Structure 1
């Protein structure tokens, strides 16, 4: 199967629970036409038994867009993939990297790094049902595993299962003793190991994730890797990361100023409110838009204090904080 989304994977925004929902992705897409966006992780049982429209619906403008699934049962993942196929995602991704307690109790996420045979069965089952590429996001290892041994073995297994694109978070996940937040910060980054995998597996498209906080750092990674994935930095300082992202593809960015972007977002927010949505469902993802710029504190304060109860007038007041400070 060819992978038309591989080029978009030069830069991607990581799947982040409670953050990268459809409103967040719509906002991010306004800044970059090209970067690959990911949903929050959705478990296979939720897709099968839950409110599919709520879990899977998105705006067509969000493409290129990948769905991340969580699970460890091949039959369930196959069924979830078959269901999700009708939504027209550009990629289906299997989560083998999340270290949270609830993920461990469900035997999926990073703990799958200890179950390569199970992962292979899951990937084959998903590929049998998917009209688009199936990919993997993983860690370099977990707990006391020797990452230099485990990671190449894991990538070889993924390749043998027919997967051709993998994102590697360049930290171990410590499932014993560290919280999910600590797992994003305490285990040391091992970029050289991930870089070595790029040379060892030339037939795989490998993206690197973890600790990448600027677009320049992403560019530096692209000198070695096929792709770079940015997580929290793209969320907390979206303009800093995504405003110039399309230059990685030799294209002019959509907006030259964050205030212009904020104005362009206004009709989307008005439409969202008209459909019964709440202001904070959009603006909670936009608090960092003016990070480091005059008026940023007023923008953030106005939205934080008023968006849960107010309407577009709160948004306009927040934007005035920035435009008047400029």
Structure 2
């Protein structure tokens, strides 16, 4: 159990930090950076990983088509949700955007596996729900922190009046759609795990198998979105720059971290027992939020916020840490 918790925490930290190299790219517009990122992380990296670690794509022919279709549909919803999150952070910043988006993902996405794998014993189920409610308190506190910060900065952001509320709505709706990732993982991990075993591959490689259909399906939505954005804004020429090679290297690092974080989550879930998908998902995403909040503070997102706004933010952070502990304890009750 401890091993699974540690891997879930590590995966969350990686997801919380994966976007940092973006701050060092030069001349690229938002659409150039993230369009290239999603091509690499959703298509190139998963295909390379599957080819190298699974020996090809035979494993997918061993799983019923309806399983892969369910994963694909859920992953399209996930991709749509991630796109909405990308727009939300333009309104409300990295810290609050991560908090609301992934907070929603935690609350809903952690419950979804119960409908796929069944509800655990009462004491475990109740304790997990308590942990999720503590996380919910943290989400509410972070939302309040953002609204107070908007009021603090009203004079300097008058032209963006209403953007905070819009960003919060976009982040929450995006989070609801993004729970498709949790459903796809819960549906596919069992059948793909059996196929991996039949091919005499190491059990941990199930995580690699699960990620390919999720990323490819979700990537279609993201790819189409950025093709449209690059075309409408006439930004394709932005890739013709002397900084392309170093930018590509930085974005490729982002792609590897993003993919590896998701694969590590799937691996962690497999190590956490019967409620692994729920427990792992909550720990993974909560630790991501915590990492993102700390990162946002370090880069100065909250430097102009009042002590009151920061108080709400830190309270939300404390609640999320407490929620992780409660959820981890709940998983220990299954041992």
The reply to whether TM is greater than 0.5 is no
Task: State TM-score, norm by structure 2.
Answer: 0.24
Q: TM-score, normalised by structure 1?
A: 0.24
Higher strand share goes to which structure?
Answer: 1
Q: Which has the higher contact order (CA 8 A, sep 6+)?
A: 2
